[in-house]
Amino acid sequence: MDLEKIHKEIEEWHSGDKDKLEEFRLKFISRKGVFGDLFSNIKNIPNEAKKEYGQKINVLKNAAQEKFQFLIEKVSDGKSDAGEYKDTDFTLPGSGTDIGNRHPLKIAQKDIVEIFQKIGFDLSEGPEIETDWYNFTALNFPENHPAREMQDTFFVEKDPDMVLRTHTSSVQIRVMESTKPPIRTLSPGRVYRNEAISARSHCVFYQAEGLYIDKNVSFKDLKQTMLYFAKEMFGKNTKIRLRPSYFPFTEPSAEMDVYWGLETEVDKKITKGTGWLEILGCGMVDPNVLENCNIDPKEYSGFAFGMGIERIALLKYQIPDIRLFTENDTRFLKQFKSLI
């Protein structure tokens, strides 16, 4: 008998009901079926070929048993040959499909990225475990700067020169080292700081930091870029203000506030009665940082900015506790269902 022909017949068999299933059983599973004849035929096979012939029959028999089990399940599910369910009423309304949830942090990050991509910023990423050079030294942090101390930074125990990055500014250093100006890049990512966990702070959070380096870049360019971002993120009537501040890697430096208003008690609480709310830090890139990356500060200038993505999400969605982002509470996450 032709074993290949039998194998093909087993593979192509479709059972739409119990009668066809029984027909398959009698032909391929029962002792009086095909395999009974095949095993009886072994005596007619030359001795040197009997082993190989027997192995092929066993493989074929296993295939038949697997197909029989599949057909049993198919019939018990009520499926026809076309794979449709005979007992299903297709005129009834569907049960709906759960399309899943987008995490609010990812929604906020996507919004931030899209806003800056519209004005030519590309994306850059880097490692979360960094050397002292990229995380501190190249960014003009003095040796005795408080951020280098244990209360702010997670150091790698076996290598004191390695740290969990405290900001994504380290990515900007890598970009400046490997790219000739003009540079216009945004670096979103996870960062770590040795801080107490509370409703307003966490030791693990996300940042989005931007950098623009070119000839004749001024503070006016920085202000207009920040105003554009605020209006795109919070609405076209959003007002901003810049207050003098200090960061080691920018000079001059500023913190940017948006006017949140004082219409409700919540507004008064989160703005401490002023109506203004800080959302990011920014400034002109310090010439020392440019020199550390082999960029001539006499020819090029630039600005940098950085914001906490959690802070943007807290404001945009009026979320009261930052810890909700990491607790995986489905009651919280389902509130963001179907957002894209």
Q: What is the pLDDT of residues 274-293, one digit of tens each?
A: 889 889 999 999 999 999 99
Judged by average pLDDT, the poorest of 101-110, 133-142, 151-160 is 151-160
Return the number of other C-beta atoms located less than 10 Å from residue 174's C-beta. 18
Strands 301-308 and 204-214: antiparallel
Q: Does 192 have pLDDT greater than 60?
A: yes
pLDDT (average), residues 237-254: 94
Of 76-80, 234-238, 240-244, the range with the highest mean pLDDT is 240-244
Judged by average pLDDT, the poorest of 79-83, 131-135, 251-255 is 79-83
| Contact predicate 251/240, CB 8 Å | no
Q: Residues 320-324: contacts with CB within 8 Å, 24+ apart?
A: 320/199, 321/199, 322/198, 322/199, 322/200, 322/201, 322/202, 322/205, 323/197, 323/198, 323/199, 323/202
pLDDT (average), residues 115-128: 94
Q: pLDDT higher for 296 or 35?
A: 296
Confidence of residue 339 (pLDDT cuts 50, 70, 90): very low
Judged by average pLDDT, the poorest of 131-135, 149-153, 183-187 is 149-153
Which pLDDT value is given to residue 82? 47
| Contact predicate 310/193, CB 8 Å | no
Q: State the DSSP code for 224.
A: H
DSSP 235-297: -TT--EEEEEEEETTEEEEEEEEEE--SSSHHHHHHTTTSSEEEEEEEEEEPHHHHHHTT--T
Q: Does 241 have pLDDT greater than 60?
A: yes
Does the pTM exceed 0.75? no
Share of the chain above pLDDT 70, in %: 90
Phi/psi-derived region of residue 235, left when phi > 0, alpha when psi is between -120 and 50, beta in every other case: left
Confidence of residue 338 (pLDDT cuts 50, 70, 90): very low
Q: pLDDT higher for 95 or 30?
A: 30
Of 20-29, 143-152, 184-193, the range with the highest mean pLDDT is 184-193
Structure tokens at 226: 């920040």
Return the number of other C-beta atoms located less than 10 Å from residue 270's C-beta. 16
What is d(CA 272, CA 264) in angstroms, rounded to the nearest whole number?
12
Listed in sequence order, the DSSP H helices in the chain are 3-12, 18-24, 34-40, 47-76, 104-117, 132-135, 169-178, 219-234, 265-270, 287-292, 309-317, 330-333
Strands 122-123 and 183-192: parallel
Structure tokens at 100: 């899943």
pLDDT tens per residue, range 47-72 = 888 788 788 888 888 888 888 888 77
